[in-house]
Structure 1
Amino acid sequence: MPLARNIAESVQALAQSLLASEYGEQDLETLLRQAGDLTREVDYYICAAVQDARRKGTSWDTVAAAASVSAATARSRWAEKTVRRRLERRATEQVALRQRDPATPPAPPRAAGQSGVQPGERSASKLAAALSHLHRSSGLTNRQVAESTDLSPSYVSRIMSGERLPNWPVVEMLAALFDGDPDELAVLWENAHGMTPPARQPLPDAAARLNAALRGLYLAAASPSPTRIHKASGGTLSVRIIKEILAGRTVPDWRTTASFVQAVGGTPTDIRPLWESVHYAFLVFLDPVDGDAPLPSPLGTDRGGRTMHQDQDQDQDHGEQ
Structure 2
Amino acid sequence: MGKKIAVLGAGSWGSVLASLLDENGSDVKLWSYNPGQVKEFNERHTNSKYIKNFTFSESIVATNDLAEAVDNVDYILFVVPTQATRSVAEQVAAILNKRNQQVNIIHASKGIEEKTYLRLSQVLSQEINPQNRKSISVLSGPSQAEDVVTKDITLVTVASDNQRAAKEIQDLFMNHYFRVYTSDDVIGVEIGAALKNIIALGAGALYGLGYKDNAKAALMTRGLAEISRLGTSFGANPLTFTGLSGVGDVIVTATSTNSRNWRAGNELGKGKSLKEVIENMGMVIEGIATTRAAYELSKKRGVEMPITSAIYHVLYDGADIKETINALMTREGRSEIE
| TM-score of the aligned structures, taking structure 2 as reference length | 0.26
Looking at secondary structure, tell me which structure has more strand per residue: 2
Q: Larger relative CO (CA 8 A, sep 6+): 1 or 2?
A: 1
Looking at secondary structure, tell me which structure has more helix per residue: 1
Larger radius of gyration, structure 1 or 2? 1
